[in-house]
Structure 1
Amino acid sequence: MTEKYDYMFKWIKQATKPERHIDEVEEFAKKHPVLFMKYHNLFKPIVSLDETDEKYIEAKEKLIKLFSENEDKFRPVLGAVKEKFAGKYF
Structure 2
Amino acid sequence: GDITCASLVQGEKSTVTGAIKAQSARLSGTVHGSIEAGELVILKSARIHGDVSYDALTIEQGAQVDGRFAHRIHTSEEPSLTLVS
Question: Which TM bucket (shorter chain)?
Answer: under 0.3
Normalized per residue, the structure richer in helix is 1
Q: Which structure has more RCO (C-alpha within 8 Å, separation ≥ 6)? A: 1
Normalized per residue, the structure richer in strand is 2
